[in-house]
Chain A
Amino acid sequence: MSATGLIAEDEPLLAANLTMMLAKLWPDLRIVATVTHGAAAVEQALAQRPDVVFLDIRMPQVSGLEAAESLAEDWPGDAPLPLIVFVTAYDQYALRAFDHAAVDYVLKPVEADRLAVTCRRLQAALASRNKTRAELPVELITALSALRSAEPEAAAPPRLRVLQASGGNTIHMVPVADVLYFEAADKYVEVVTAARRFLIRIPLRQLLPQLDPGQFWQVHRATVVRADAIDTATRDDSGKVELTLKGHPGKVAVSRLYAHLFKPM
């Protein structure tokens, strides 16, 4: 069965080896790109639209898991999402999540027999999948959300009550309860309250564990909303969900990975 594939692996020998093994086991799989980090994986996958993506979990800056999340969120609606296979040398917590959600993974060193099983599974999935509409595989959503909660943290940091945002020579003390939502912007996080916006110098990834997950919901990989501030959630015809907030004119987009949070009771 002919198909296209992408390999993301930061170690050159291992990438070359995976390409070689795939060439033997699945001669009709054409590798359209081999990249060495997660950001390039997302960029190349969006440009080349491969059928299958092999993602190493630990890569510089953007990990394989983050790349998968970005792909699921940014994938255009008119094409099916690529099948994702995670590749890892040793990530016990991730493997548990994958087993639980039946998402495919390959262990390094890659064994030919094991990779052959993966190839057969991929071929079967490609043959049966719906080619007209992009559907998010439930397994991937489950696996990624399981991973988010399973990721080992050093020690749960204390919950934040007040944010300290700098504005010139002044430090603004912003009570967390006043925040409508947080929006990640590169290494910064924009804090939006009813009155104004602030910038704080902390990546969203580090801020998130300091917030009460019951109060603050992640609705996009770059957005965290205070649940009490949400007024309505509206689903449009294409399935996209948007939030309106109390006391705030703008709208907040919910990504497909988090759309399941908004269902009538």
Chain B
Amino acid sequence: MNRYLSRALRSVGYGSGVGLCIALIRQQPIGTTLLYSMCISVACWFFIDSGRYLVATRIDAGDRRPGWPGWGWMTTVVIVGGCLGLLSGTLLGDTLTGAHTPILSGDEDLRHLLGDVLFVLLPAMIITYFFNTRSVIADREAAAQAAQRQAAESRLRLLEAQLEPHMFFNTLANLHVLIGIDPPRAQAMLDQLIAFLRATLNGSRALEHPLHAEFERTRDYLALMQVRMDDRLRIRFDLPETLAEVPVPPLLLQPLVENAIKHGLEPSVTGGRIEVKAARDGDTLTLAVRDTGVGLGQRASNGTSFGLRHVRERLETLYGDTACLSLSAANDAEGGTLAIIRMPLK
């Protein structure tokens, strides 16, 4: 509503500008010309803006911005609205001054009439163009801001997911106990916690690191979990030496390993094993995280698929269709879940 009002006020302003020009060009008295000009421009604003609104809300929006009917329709709206505005604005002016303008009585000279129409339509088109461009820019800015906000929110959620408070406080509780009974082990655990925190907090910034670094970060995380879960968690790593230096985006494996713990082993009374494997398949690098936990069927439906979604999104941004993440039941006697990332080998 405010935007309509501001456009109406502006149209009065433009009207006075145009009125002054006409008065100068045609050598007419400034006062009356200004009055008519303002009446006509307000009337034009009214018909054009309402016309735009009516057309835009009635036609199928397609991929246009809401409130904008497209240039084809808009030109028609400006011409019709402009002519209506010219007539009714003149009528308004006549009512205010008590004069009789030749346009309305039909005595107007054709050239003069065409001039009037041109004086109305040309500024109307220019103003429409101006307003449209402005709102396109405003929309773009709003969209950019929304995207920025989304990115920030996504980073925050990722950090929250990685520094899951429950995991964090339980780790600290274990550390607290170890300091009392086994200081060297407590120090080793603290080192792993520091490495894990550093990797988590830096991870979103670094673009890539060697695969062995990714494995080491995963090892730190799993070592922390092993202090907590003891013999309920067994770990196996398999990184062929030829793949150790392959560059990969950081923290791809960690969400998968976290999921394996959270949804696979933690719900299981007896625990199980986690295997993290890298392999080469032609030009493709496969990274597999397998657990022998409770399996997909029993996973709580409200669990965080956020971690997986995030990995998928990153793969898509970085590699498009050439990379993928699949999650399936491990099809052997031990059961559990198998997550595989396939990505092009650089």
Contacts and interface: CB of A to CB of B under 8 A. Distances in A.
Contacts of A89: 165-166, 169-170, 173
Contact of B301 (A36, A58, A109, A206): A206
Interface residues of A, number: 23
A110 B173 CA distance: 7
A226 interface: no
A11 B267 contact: no
A90 interface: yes
Nearest to A111: B176
Interface of B: 165-166, 168-170, 172-178, 180-181, 227-230, 232, 266-269, 301-302
A59 to B, nearest CB: 9
A153 B166 contact: no
Contacts of B232: 10
A108 B269 contact: no
A110 B166 CA distance: 14
Given A11-B228, A90-B169, A206-B301, A60 B174 contact: no
A154 interface: yes
Contacts of B178: 13
B170 A108 contact: yes
Given A11-B170, A13-B227, A60 B266 contact: yes
B36 to A, nearest CB: 61
A37 B173 CA distance: 18
B177 A13 contact: yes
B169 A154 contact: no
A39 B269 CA distance: 10
A204 to B, nearest CB: 14
A107 B301 CA distance: 28
A91 B165 CA distance: 9
Interface in A78-108: 89-91, 107-108
A109 B172 contact: yes
Contacts of A206: 301
**9 interchain residue pairs of minimum CB distance:** A154-B302, A89-B169, A109-B176, A108-B173, A109-B173, A17-B177, A90-B165, A89-B170, A90-B166
A44 B111 CA distance: 104
A16 B166 CA distance: 19
A61 interface: yes
A201 to B, nearest CB: 10
B177 A154 contact: no
Contact of A109 (B166, B177, B302): B177
Q: Tell me the interface secondary structure of chain A in the complex.
A: loop
A77 interface: no
A16 B176 CA distance: 12
A137 interface: no
Given A60-B269, A89-B170, A153-B302, A16 B165 contact: no
A12 interface: yes
A37 B269 contact: yes
A58 B177 contact: no
A61 B166 CA distance: 17
A93 to B, nearest CB: 12
Q: Quick one: which of A13, A17, A39, A110 has the most chain B CB within 10 A?
A: A13
Contacts of A60: 266-269
Contacts of B228: 11, 13
Contacts of B301: 154, 206
A14 interface: yes
Given A12-B230, A13-B227, A154-B302, A58 B174 contact: no
A118 B166 CA distance: 22
Nearest to B176: A109
Contacts of A39: 269
A170 to B, nearest CB: 23
Contacts of A36: 269
Nearest to A155: B302
A58 B301 CA distance: 17
Interface in A197-238: 206
Contacts of A12: 230
B306 to A, nearest CB: 11
24 contacts: A10-B229, A10-B232, A11-B170, A11-B173, A14-B170, A14-B177, A16-B177, A17-B176, A17-B181, A39-B269, A60-B266, A61-B267, A89-B166, A89-B169, A89-B173, A90-B166, A90-B168, A90-B170, A107-B169, A109-B169, A109-B172, A153-B302, A154-B301, A154-B302
